[in-house]
Amino acid sequence: MANLDRVFHSLADGTRRAVITQLASGPASVGNLAQRHRMALPSFMKHLRVLEASKIVVSRKKGRVRMCELRLDALASAQTWIEKERGMWTTRLNQLDAFVETLAEREKTDGNK
């Protein structure tokens, strides 16, 4: 559950979501990723560390350049949780809909007496 919390924490910030979007098209250097955001490199690195802590992004040094890569499998825990919650809420809303329809039918029947 702790990793799920880290994943949602990672996804809660627009800069981090933008980095995920950037990396969806393939690996990129930290410099290339940072260049698209209006912030100092140390501030950008904080966002990158959050993404690495949740294992959504992995980075490794290639010579003098640090390359980052997206790990979509790290998002699986969030996807599983969302699907489970969606199923539960779909069931509850269907039950509510059926209840409201039953009340409407009763009202119609009682109104015709």
Instruction: Tell whether 22 and 37 lie within a shared domain.
Output: yes
Name which of 21, 24, 45, 23 is nearest 34 in CA terms. 45
Q: Which domain holds residue 58?
A: 2-72
Q: Model-level pTM?
A: 0.75
Is there a single domain that holds both residue 7 and residue 39? yes
Query: For 56-68, what is the HEC assignment?
Result: CEEEEEECCEEEE
* Number of neighbours of residue 68 by Cβ within 10 angstroms: 20
Total domains in the chain come to 2
Check whether residue 61 and residue 87 sit in a common domain: no
* Gap between the terminal Cα atoms of the chain: 56
Q: Are residues 35 and 86 in the same domain?
A: no
Query: What tens digit of pLDDT does each residue of 36-95 get?
Result: 999 999 999 999 999 999 999 999 998 999 999 999 888 888 898 999 999 999 999 999
Neighbour-count burial of 89, counting CB atoms closer than 10 A to its CB (0-12 exposed, 13-18 middle, 19+ buried): exposed
Looking at the structure, tell me whether residues 6 and 34 fall in a common domain: yes
Whether residue 88 is found in the same domain as residue 56: no
Report residue 44 as tokens: 């950008």
Q: Enter the tokens of residue 62.
A: 């290639």
Q: Which pLDDT value is given to residue 1?
A: 63
